[in-house]
Structure 1
Amino acid sequence: MTDTPRTIVRRTPWPESSSRAVVTPLQPSVVYSSESPDALDDQYEGRAKGYTYAREGHPNAEVLARKIDAMEGTEGGLVTGSGMAAVTAALLGCLKAGDHVLGGTQLYGRSLRMMNEELPRFGVATSLADAGDAAAIEAALRPETRMILVELVSNPTLRLADLDAIADLARRRGILLAVDNTFTTPRALRPFERGADIVIHSVTKLLAGHSDVTLGYVAARDPALREAIRVTAITLGLTPSPFDCWLAERGLYSFELRYDRAEENAARLADHLAGCPGVRELLYPMRPDHPDHDRARVLLGERGGNMVTFTLNGGRAEANAFVRAARTIAFAPTLGDIGTTISHPATSSHRALSAEGRRALGLSEGSFRISVGIEPIDLLLREFESAIAASGAASAE
């Protein structure tokens, strides 16, 4: 006769409690059990609330989505596995073969690749036009145009889309307007309030804020579109990690503090760099010398954001010297981190373009994009001034 082993451990229900956790629990479970087939039917058919399989949704994603919904003034948004997953869900969920989508010429590099190389494989026609010129957008429309996709602030040239005019145009023509709000965030502008039909975020960036998650978010005004996007995301497996959702939710609690401090630093840094010898051009939307300054004031008010772009005198040698001298600032192709980062479009976001293509956008080997963080501003001013001086010394050699 054999005794029943005492080392067998079985799954048991979560402990009941008359109190609740202050911090959102992390639930990494892939599957959820139901009481019966009837109960499962009730979930799938909308008569009961519940979860079944994490690809179809899980608690941490829902908690995060509802918080971003509140920030954007909407409901029913969806968290995805990355910013590009959100773009993909919006495009493939709303478009079909024979449709045409018009994008801004300065979309994020992978969004451009989606437009130029991926969508045509599925029979969706694409083209690009300057989002800063509503007349150019209108001229590029076709009878089969189903969607216009723009970023409010372009990367890395920081030009502003003529959002109000484009929204009016889209409404009159019955075309969907999708706005990638990653750079501006709802702290600066809520696109649904300016006529957008779809809002997209790379949560990886400013919303999460610590370069330790990869997530996206997409929301649609129309419930039918919302459902189409959700089903597409589930089918394609654009599922977010519960742990990343948990981390991003934690990041949201400090979002306003981080955003305001970084924005204040960016304005100070932009004014300082504009006067530095060796800086040929500087772009920041709240500066009067920005080419879209008046539009920025209309759309963003005083919210200039945390992004600054500048161009050094010289070329690759000066760029290398600048990065090497800025040892305490991360040289990394990202943005929105709590710490300041710098990126070099010619070797990261715009490396796929020819030198001529980059010049057409106003970019050169000396162009850098700064995602300003929350460090003490005096420290940043000294570090950038020193690094720019080092680039000038390289030029003189």
Structure 2
Amino acid sequence: MDIRKTLIRPVAMPASSSSAVVTPIMPAVVYASDSPDALDAQYEGRSPGYTYAREGHPNADILARRIDALEEMEGGIVTGSGMAAVAVVLMGLLRAGDHVLGADQLYGRSLRMMKEDLPRMGIATSLADPTDAAAMEAALRPETKLVLIELVSNPTLRIADLDGIAALCKARGILLAVDNTFTTPAAIAPVTRGADIVIHSVTKLLAGHADVTLGWVAARDPEVAQRLRVFAVTTGMTASPFDCWLAERGLMTFPLRFDRAQQTAQRLSEFLSGRAGVARVLYPGRADHPDAARAQSVLRGNPGTMLSFELEGGRAAANAFTEAAKGIAFAPTLGDVGTTLSHPASSSHRALTAEGRAALGISEGFFRVSLGLEDPDALLACFADGLDAARQARG
């Protein structure tokens, strides 16, 4: 036998009268076409198919379609990370001479891109308070082409005036991009309230197991969506098939995980409120939240799985809390099946000055909590241990 003949491609898939119940992993990087005419038809959109994985592959498209359905959109694309999705929007749609207005409490890396990377490309940027549509309007310029907000800010959980900002953008012909990572489509589909572009870090609640890094972005206007896709393909922001497969698997339990974690978040907010050494608790489901009325209206009774609180005693109390709260991962992420604790001053917002963090309400004792699926009573006991240690550290 000439063993070289056994290595020649292609080999036909085995015939089967049944089909897989779950999506298979399809890791192929390249795809063969029948002829140059057939390849032309694919590139020109007259025939479906794949050519090269950087330009798209089945696992990414399957995941994108599932998230599209949740967000009531079409034509979304999956990227290699949430920040890649943000970059696709900011760099794929803007050019030198344009201006973009961002919310002043975006994710730390989004802020860095706004403040440092875009200006290097000749794109002007500024920030304003998204809870105040008048403040956002005052920051607009004639050359403003895009507004970027997070519906629920990271990490102080303020609620943007989505309706006011959407009306403002529509009147001015400005694109509105909403990062819906914190809120998720379980709470709201921003496109139904006037958003033109929706962004997700799929890494977080949608995938939900802290084992993939992915993003997703979709645009209401097909022409805008095509510009996003072309930029993503050109710059190689491709997601791996395996990560897409894992994320699709995680997405199947997303509603159950969201509901359970949201219930625990409500309990934790009640547990922390009024405790000695806790300066404040921020949770959109609480009546004392600064945007409580808006949260009820915009989030449709789903205040979410994220909670923030501030300890008295600064960094010393923060260190003592994290060291004593055994069983709670101290990690700069969110949306995992396990509860995670984040300290913005030392992680997501460490690039800001102390004065800059203070202006946002972020102190050395400030924590953000992403609730997971643990037994709520056991979780509260961990928090109690942390609070006791923080109290001792304060003396």
> Could you tell me the TM-score, scaled by structure 1's length?
0.98
Partner of 2:261: 262
Q: Match for 2:241: what amino acid?
A: P
Unaligned runs of at least 5 residues, structure 2 = none
| CA-atom RMSD in angstroms | 1.0
Partner of 1:159: 158
SS of the residue 1:288 aligns to = coil
Partner of 1:98: 97
Offset, 1:10: 3.1
TM-superposition CA deviations, 1:174-216 (whole Å, max 9, x none):
1000000000000001000000000000000000000000000
How many angstroms apart in 2 are the aligned matches of 1:147 and 1:267? Answer: 35
Q: Match for 2:290: what amino acid?
A: P
Matched, 1:9 2:7: yes
Q: Match for 1:200: what amino acid?
A: I
SS of the residue 1:185 aligns to = coil
Q: Note if contact 2:199-2:215 (Cα within 8 Å) is conserved in structure 1.
A: yes
4+ runs deviating over 2 angstroms: 3-11
How many angstroms apart in 1 are the aligned matches of 2:145 and 2:15? Answer: 50
Partner of 1:344: 343
Q: Match for 1:243: what amino acid?
A: F
Partner of 2:328: 329
Q: Match for 1:229: what amino acid?
A: L
Q: Match for 1:46: what amino acid?
A: G
1:26-41 to structure 2, matched below 5 A, reads 26-41=25-40
Q: Note if contact 1:276-1:385 (Cα within 8 Å) is conserved in structure 2.
A: no
Partner of 1:385: 384
TM-superposition CA deviations, 1:247-283 (whole Å, max 9, x none):
0000010000000000000001111111321111110
1:1-397 to structure 2, matched below 5 A, reads 4-5=2-3, 8-11=6-9, 12-396=11-395
Q: Match for 1:10: what amino acid?
A: I
How many angstroms apart in 1 are the aligned matches of 2:4 and 2:50? Answer: 32
Offset, 1:90: 1.1
SS of the residue 1:272 aligns to = helix
> Could you tell me the TM-score, scaled by structure 2's length?
0.98
Offset, 1:393: 1.0
Q: Note if contact 2:188-2:300 (Cα within 8 Å) is conserved in structure 1.
A: no
Q: Note if contact 2:80-2:237 (Cα within 8 Å) is conserved in structure 1.
A: yes
How many angstroms apart in 2 are the aligned matches of 1:240 and 1:125? Answer: 29
Offset, 1:302: 1.3
Q: Match for 1:114: what amino acid?
A: M
How many angstroms apart in 1 are the aligned matches of 2:350 and 2:116? Answer: 16
Q: Match for 2:393: what amino acid?
A: A
Q: Match for 1:173: what amino acid?
A: R
How many angstroms apart in 2 are the aligned matches of 1:306 and 1:44? Answer: 42
Once structures 1 and 2 are overlaid, which stretch shifts more, 147-156 or 112-121? 112-121
Q: Note if contact 2:101-2:146 (Cα within 8 Å) is conserved in structure 1.
A: yes
Q: Match for 1:384: what amino acid?
A: F
Query: What percent identity do the matched residue pairs reach?
Result: 66
TM-superposition CA deviations, 1:358-382 (whole Å, max 9, x none):
1111111111100011111111111
Q: Match for 1:284: what amino acid?
A: Y
How many angstroms apart in 1 are the aligned matches of 2:81 and 2:207? Answer: 12
How many angstroms apart in 1 are the aligned matches of 2:57 and 2:3? Answer: 35
Offset, 1:97: 1.4
How many angstroms apart in 1 are the aligned matches of 2:337 and 2:2? Answer: 55
SS of the residue 1:387 aligns to = helix
Q: Note if contact 1:93-1:225 (Cα within 8 Å) is conserved in structure 2.
A: no
Q: Note if contact 1:278-1:389 (Cα within 8 Å) is conserved in structure 2.
A: no
How many angstroms apart in 2 are the aligned matches of 1:279 and 1:304? Answer: 21
